[in-house]
């Protein structure tokens, strides 16, 4: 009897120590694939709660997901960024797994991603997509991903390999300190920048990437969403690195002003006159704008540091994986 009670206590303790895992699946017209996504992640993570958020689908996505055993909710504002914002706000868990509902990502890789997050005390693990078929990536998507990934790595000074991956695992600390600002597919870029901004521990792990099912259509537009993502990178660079951003603008304006002023100065020294007064006025104006740009960068850099400190405090207010929140 005593041994049975001891075994029961040990089982209860192990259950209490197991982290709560939430699988978050944003969906828009994915009736062809959503049942397989739910089934695959139910098999890979038997203890996880699977949440499907439907983003105004016009097909049977919601009904099929509910019949497959997922918890289904609606996100009315159109766009993946809006859906992720609702998910992160609504769902309470210790570990979050975000995956698209198109069955292109490998559910069997989920336990390894979660184990990597827990064992190395990370805040984000990104799935590096290794395509299993030529149709998995469209040529424009592959080129765009490489260009944007290289641009982001250069801008923020840290090597990334697949910033547009929609398959990621997060700690609670990451999710609850992340202020979602994006509306659409640029959300993946914002997730990466948040980790880089706070210097959070992250890792990447290779996972298979499959072609979509027949009848399933990608919602990503190569040119439109590519330009939106590029715009997001520039906007985030401006807000997160304002001194560099406005300093570069100021330096270019100052160089233009000097280039215009040098011939005028030479002429004045040689002949004692300023023959092109409008050019002199333009050069002076450009130099004034250069000084204003640099001054704006200095002021905004101070503001950004304060905002980054607030994000870091929000991050530290959450308990790490494996430790229960303070009472």
pLDDT tens series, the chain, 327 aa:
556 556 545 544 544 468 999 999 999 989 999 999 999 999 999 999 999 999 999 999 999 999 999 999 998 899 888 999 999 999 999 999 999 998 899 999 999 999 999 999 999 999 998 886 655 555 556 666 777 777 777 777 777 788 888 899 999 999 998 888 777 767 888 898 888 888 899 999 999 998 776 665 665 666 666 677 677 777 777 877 889 899 999 999 999 999 988 888 888 777 777 777 788 889 999 999 999 999 999 999 888 888 778 888 888 888 777 655 544
pTM for the whole structure: 0.77
Q: In this predicted structure, what is the pLDDT of residue 3?
A: 60
Distance CA 260, CA 244 (A): 24
Edge-to-edge order in the sheet of strand 202-209: 71-74, 49-54, 21-27, 95-98, 168-171, 124-131, 202-209
Token pair recorded at residue 114? 């979660």
Q: In this predicted structure, what is the pLDDT of residue 230?
A: 73
Q: Which residues contact 205 (CB under 8 A, 6 or more apart)?
A: 109, 112, 113, 116, 125, 126, 127, 128
Q: In this predicted structure, what is the pLDDT of residue 327?
A: 46
What CATH number matches the domain at 2-240, 2.60.40.1930, 3.20.20.70, 3.30.70.3460, 3.90.550.10? 3.90.550.10
Q: In this predicted structure, what is the pLDDT of residue 199?
A: 85
Residue 162 Cα to chain centre, angstroms: 11
Domain ranges of the chain: 2-240, 242-316
Q: In this predicted structure, what is the pLDDT of residue 249?
A: 94
User: Are 101 and 52 spatial neighbours (Cβ–Cβ below 8 Å)?
Assistant: yes
């Amino acid at each position: 009897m005593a041994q049975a009670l001891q075994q029961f206590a040990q089982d209860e303790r192990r259950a209490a120590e197991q982290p709560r895992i939430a699988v978050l699946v944003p969906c828009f017209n994915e009736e062809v694939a959503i049942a397989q996504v739910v089934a695959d992640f139910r098999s890979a993570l038997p203890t996880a709660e699977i949440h499907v958020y439907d983003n105004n689908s016009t097909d049977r996505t919601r009904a099929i997901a509910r019949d497959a055993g997922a918890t289904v909710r609606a996100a009315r504002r159109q766009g993946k960024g809006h859906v992720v914002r609702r998910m992160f706000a609504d769902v309470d868990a210790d570990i979050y797994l975000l995956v698209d509902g198109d069955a292109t990502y490998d559910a069997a890789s989920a336990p390894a991603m979660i184990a990597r997050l827990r064992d190395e005390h990370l805040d984000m693990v990104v799935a590096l997509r290794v395509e299993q078929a030529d149709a998995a990536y469209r040529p424009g998507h592959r080129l765009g991903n490489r260009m944007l990934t290289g641009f982001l790595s250069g801008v923020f000074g840290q090597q990334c390999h697949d910033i547009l991956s929609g398959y990621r695992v997060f700690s609670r600390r990451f999710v609850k300190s992340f202020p979602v600002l994006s509306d659409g597919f640029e959300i993946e870029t914002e997730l990466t920048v948040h980790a880089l901004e706070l210097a959070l521990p992250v890792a990447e792990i290779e996972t298979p990437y499959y072609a979509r099912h027949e009848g399933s259509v990608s919602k990503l537009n190569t040119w439109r969403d590519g330009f939106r993502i590029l715009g997001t990178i520039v906007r985030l660079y401006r807000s997160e690195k304002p001194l560099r951003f406005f300093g570069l603008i100021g330096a270019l304006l100052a160089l233009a002003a000097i280039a215009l002023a040098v011939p005028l100065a030479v002429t004045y020294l040689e002949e004692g006159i300023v023959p092109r007064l409008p050019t002199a006025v333009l050069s002076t104006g450009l130099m004034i704008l250069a000084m204003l740009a640099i001054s704006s960068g200095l002021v905004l850099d101070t503001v950004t540091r304060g905002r980054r400190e607030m994000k870091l405090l929000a991050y530290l207010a959450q308990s790490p994986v494996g430790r229960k929140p303070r009472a």
